[in-house]
Structure 1
Amino acid sequence: MLGSGTRWLAGVLIVACTVLVGPSAPGGAPFAGAPPVEAVVDVVPNRVMTWNICNPCEGDDVDRAAEIAAHAPQVVGLQEACVRDVERIRDHLEHRYGLVYRAEYGTVLRSWGRCGGAPWSPGAFGQAVLSAAPMTDPVIVEYPDGGSEDRGYMAVTTTVGGRSVRVFNTHLAQRRQEAVRADQVGVLAAEVARHDRAIVLGDFNAVPNAPELTGIQALAADADPRCGPSPTGGCEPTTDWHSKFDYVFLRGVVPLEHGVHPTPHSDHHPLHADLDTTGRPAGEAGPGSR
């Protein structure tokens, strides 16, 4: 049996180790050094967010989770997302901030260079949607022509602002591939047109007055009314190179407020929009409509 002096010394050592190491994140990763954010009570039920988290970049999943938690959207669409990163982000959101999200993935590429893993079992790369509400009817579509890299869109049905809505998340072809993006918009718009109430999130790699965006702009309005095909001024850039490439397009949904949030953790900035989904969109026939 240990003497009282020995037990006292052991207790001191345990406390000292706890102070030095700090509490652990999911999977054993320490939380020490994570940027503080204001205490989060719950998600904002009518808020959506889109964010290209940049890959390959030196972004840390703890920092990415902090960015999302600072705005606590009901739904967030991520682009350039590795499945493992999204899993860690989701764990940090739950265990650090008490924000519980479900995840669906829109994998279009398996890339060891981007996502790590074993060369014979590389990580999955593409889009992801995190939602505080359950998601149903997930769809993943790879564009027939991705351009210089495979690209696609995903879609889920979930709840935003108390109403069921179809949410799309996409990442179009890289810059200087206008014709490819125009074809991709055609594929995406054909599906969006099937729904009376839809939210389209994503990195479109094109400025608001780019001709290739007209196909989606004819169906859905930008959450920022200053950023239409004929910008009225004040359209906020969403990238480090001072261009707007990131969008929240709305079909049958009314925008209330929006914000762009510059961040050091990606070359794209998170964009959020608060929405009114309670009104009946024009042309909706009633409970049996899409």
Structure 2
Amino acid sequence: MRRSSLTAALVAVSVGAMLGTQPALAETNGRDVQLRVATYNIHAGAGEDGRFDVARQVEAIRSLNADVIALQEVDVHWDARSEWRDLASELATALGMRVFFGPIYDSDPPADGKPRKQYGNAILSKYPILYTQNHSITRLSTQTPNPVPEPAPGFPEVVVNAKGAHVHVYGTHLDYRGDPTVRRLQVADTLKIMAERGGQDPQVLLGDFNARPDAPELAPLWTELTDTMAGKPDMTYPAKTPDRRIDYVAVSRSVRVRATQVPSTLASDHLPVVADLTVKRGR
């Protein structure tokens, strides 16, 4: 989500105490596997204060102690705002996690011999990744003049092997505009892809939906998925004084939600959402 950052000089607040000391990689109980997931819009590496600081974000993400985390607004050699760095790979390496990056935009390099400019969504996992795909959903490009809604990539899916449970995880960033038309189309595309891909396996949808839970364009999601924060007062944006919830963890009906939290940190202009889930391994 592209919004101007506050100018106050702020530092990240540790979130570890809020999440406690429970290990993310919990022991299985029969067919049950405990899985901690999270979503976080990282604002291309900049905090609520507008200062680019990858180390600050590494510590904020590490404190979530998540097994799988979806990141939005991820620059990969995109431009000077993120020092032309590969944030997807850099964050994954620092956290000791596997990564799949799904670019929304993929542009020619700024000069010969330089890497391509990419921007999009990433999924990090402590567990082995068995499958990856960067799906297309309807988008209204910010990179072309006079854009029209059309299919474009940037809806990554991974299948992780969480101690025998094959979990389909999707990362998304829905359209930010006030007009909900594109978001409505994106929701329809999302549900179609998930219906075709998931089968009987657990499914987790993570991301910045850019709409409040009661937004009409999100209503179709809640007929098929569970909003893990439904009925809770927690807000996720803006990070310093959050007054709306636009970041979500949503799960298929077979997934049990044990706990959810919105930790406090100013390492981005959004707050992360964390959910402790129980999924089944085997069938």
Question: Given the two structures, how large is their TM-score scaled by the length of structure 2?
Answer: 0.73
Give the counterpart letter for 2:243 in structure 1. H
Aligned counterparts, 1:43-58, within 5 A: 43-44=24-25, 46-55=35-44, 57=46, 58=51
Conservation of the 8 A alpha-carbon contact between 1:161 and 1:276: no
1:56 deviation in Å?
7.0
Structure (1 or 2) with the larger CA radius of gyration: 1
1:80 deviation in Å?
0.4
- 3-state SS of the aligned residue for 1:50? strand
Conservation of the 8 A alpha-carbon contact between 2:68 and 2:125: yes
- 3-state SS of the aligned residue for 1:225? coil
Q: Which residue is equivalent to 2:4? A: none
Equivalent position to 2:125, from 127, 131, 144: 131
Equivalent position to 1:216, from 197, 215, 221: 221
Deviations 1:154-211 (A, max 9, x none): 1110034752111011001113130110001100111122323200000000000001
Deviations 1:10-59 (A, max 9, x none): xxxxxxxxxxxxxxxxxxxxxxx999897999644510010000137333
Taking a change above 3 Å as real, the CA distance of residues 193 and 34 of structure 1, as seen in their structure-2 partners, is closer
The yes-or-no answer on 1:103 pairing with 2:99 is yes
Conservation of the 8 A alpha-carbon contact between 1:167 and 1:200: yes
Give the counterpart letter for 2:209 in structure 1. F
CA distance, structure 2, for counterparts of residue 137 and residue 77 of structure 1: 16
- The number of residues matched between the two structures is 232
Conservation of the 8 A alpha-carbon contact between 2:236 and 2:244: yes
Taking a change above 3 Å as real, the CA distance of residues 177 and 111 of structure 1, as seen in their structure-2 partners, is farther
Q: Which range moves more in the overlay, 121-130 or 207-216? A: 121-130
Give the counterpart letter for 1:70 in structure 2. S
Equivalent position to 1:72, from 65, 68, 91: 65
The yes-or-no answer on 1:206 pairing with 2:204 is no
Q: Which residue is equivalent to 1:8? A: none
Aligned counterparts, 1:1-290, within 5 A: 43-44=24-25, 46-55=35-44, 57=46, 58-83=51-76, 84-93=86-95, 100-110=96-106, 118-119=110-111, 121-146=115-140, 148=142, 152-160=154-162, 163-194=165-196, 195=198, 196=200, 197-226=202-231, 234-240=232-238, 241-251=242-252, 252-278=254-280, 287=283
Conservation of the 8 A alpha-carbon contact between 2:226 and 2:251: yes
CA distance, structure 1, for counterparts of residue 162 and residue 270 of structure 2: 24
CA distance, structure 1, for counterparts of residue 15 and residue 250 of structure 2: 28
Conservation of the 8 A alpha-carbon contact between 2:36 and 2:66: yes
Taking a change above 3 Å as real, the CA distance of residues 38 and 191 of structure 1, as seen in their structure-2 partners, is closer
1:108 deviation in Å?
1.2
Q: Which residue is equivalent to 1:25? A: none
Conservation of the 8 A alpha-carbon contact between 2:38 and 2:272: yes
CA distance, structure 1, for counterparts of residue 107 and residue 54 of structure 2: 18
CA distance, structure 2, for counterparts of residue 235 and residue 34 of structure 1: 22
1:225 deviation in Å?
3.2
CA distance, structure 1, for counterparts of residue 14 and residue 267 of structure 2: 15
Taking a change above 3 Å as real, the CA distance of residues 174 and 147 of structure 1, as seen in their structure-2 partners, is farther
RCO (CA 8 Å, sep 6+): is it higher in 1 or 2? Answer: 2
Conservation of the 8 A alpha-carbon contact between 2:45 and 2:268: no
CA distance, structure 2, for counterparts of residue 173 and residue 37 of structure 1: 28
Taking a change above 3 Å as real, the CA distance of residues 271 and 125 of structure 1, as seen in their structure-2 partners, is same
- 3-state SS of the aligned residue for 1:73? coil
Q: Which runs of 5+ in 2 are unaligned?
A: 1-10, 27-34, 77-85, 144-151
- 3-state SS of the aligned residue for 2:212? coil
Taking a change above 3 Å as real, the CA distance of residues 34 and 244 of structure 1, as seen in their structure-2 partners, is closer
**More helix as a share of residues:** 1
Q: Which runs of 5+ in 1 are unaligned?
A: 1-32, 94-99, 227-233, 280-285
CA distance, structure 2, for counterparts of residue 35 and residue 203 of structure 1: 21
Question: Given the two structures, how large is their TM-score scaled by the length of structure 1?
Answer: 0.71
